[in-house]
Amino acid sequence: MPQVETRLSQLTVADGEALVWGVRTYVMGIINVAPDSFSGDGLNGDVHAVVDRALRIQEDGADILDIGAESTRPGHKPITSEEELVRLMPALEAISGQVRLPISVDTSKAAVARQAVEAGAVIINDVSGLQADPELAQVAASSGAGLILMHNQQGTQYQNLLPDIASSLRTSVNKAVISGVPIDNIIIDPGFGFGKTPDHNLEVLARLNELQALRRPILVGSSRKSTLGLLLGLPVDQRVEGTAATVTLAISGGANIVRVHDVKEMVRVCRVTDAVVHGWRPHGWNKS
């Protein structure tokens, strides 16, 4: 296999800052092109609205932009690669020349990922952990794109929750490496809300530090999820405080990236939490 650029280790994020794990938490802002997003923010192919959203996410302080065109909400109707590309590509092509942020594509299909990286995406975010389309790993390997592997499963039965999640993620990582993806290009995601009960989701947050044994950067996507709605008795658009609590807990447990809808608010949450957890300080910090 030919040598390719290891993009993830060479990425820059906000204001040209180098991507370095463990210094602070990186914020991934979400753009949903799907019309049936669980969070109610799907833009349904409105390219102008997508560009506006992308620019606002950038202005609000995100480090990475994640765009997806197929809903992954419970009970969603699967779509074909062709349908996904029709939704995704006009939006991705429009924003790739407009934003300075690295772009992640949220897809589990190799055909979609291939065209997305050709159009400027530098990370592939696979919610299936290579279970849906193993060829996705080959796209990441040949392009040098970063690869996010999320834990996902049918049903909610576990022998031991965190060890089972870790074992599944380890299998996904090994598949990717065997396909030629550099280990330094791989990020893991415990899959908050996927194949888990609400109690499982809370346990994942409480025990997130156990996944550090896999020695890969960790992404957590708890933003606006239904578990928060159950805890708070609130609709999707009123879960910002609940999301903030999970972001803080995730960072304390070792998360390196948080994937969020409410970017401005979560950037602020991350900065304060990072100041305590990582010793991060803003430029020009006066210690006196």
DSSP strands (E only) in the chain: 26-32, 64-68, 103-106, 123-126, 146-150, 186-189, 219-220, 257-260
Which is it for strands 146-150 and 123-126: parallel, antiparallel or unpaired?
parallel
- Alpha-helical segments (H) within 187-225: 198-206
Name which of 48, 152, 75, 142 is nearest 106 in CA terms: 152
| CA separation for the pair 271, 115 (Å, rounded) | 35
Fold exhibited by the domain 7-277: TIM Barrel (3.20.20)
Is 259 catalytic? The answer is: yes
- Alpha-helical segments (H) within 144-197: 161-178
- Identify the active-site residue in 7, 53, 196, 225: 225
Which is it for strands 146-150 and 186-189: parallel, antiparallel or unpaired?
parallel
**pLDDT at residue number 163:** 98
**pLDDT at residue number 38:** 46
* Residue numbers in the chain where pLDDT is lower than 50: 1-2, 38-40
DSSP 183: G
Within 10 A of 198 (CB to CB), how many other CB atoms are there? Answer: 16
3-class SS of residue 64: strand
∠ CA 151-153-155, nearest 5°, is 140
In 156-175, which positions are buried (b, 16+ CB within 10 angstroms) versus exposed (e)? eebeebbeebbebbeebbeb
With residues binned 3-state (H G I as helix, E B as strand, rest as coil), the percentages for the chain, rounded to 5, are 45, 15, 40
**pLDDT at residue number 2:** 45
- Cβ–Cβ < 8 Å for 66, 30: yes
What digits encode the pLDDT tens for the residues 25-46? 999 999 999 875 544 455 566 8
- Cβ–Cβ < 8 Å for 173, 182: no
- Cβ–Cβ < 8 Å for 51, 93: no
**pLDDT at residue number 288:** 59
- Identify the active-site residue in 87, 259, 271, 281: 259
Which is it for strands 186-189 and 257-260: parallel, antiparallel or unpaired?
unpaired
The residues pairing with 149 across neighbouring beta strands, listed in sequence order, are 126, 188
The residues pairing with 18 across neighbouring beta strands, listed in sequence order, are 12
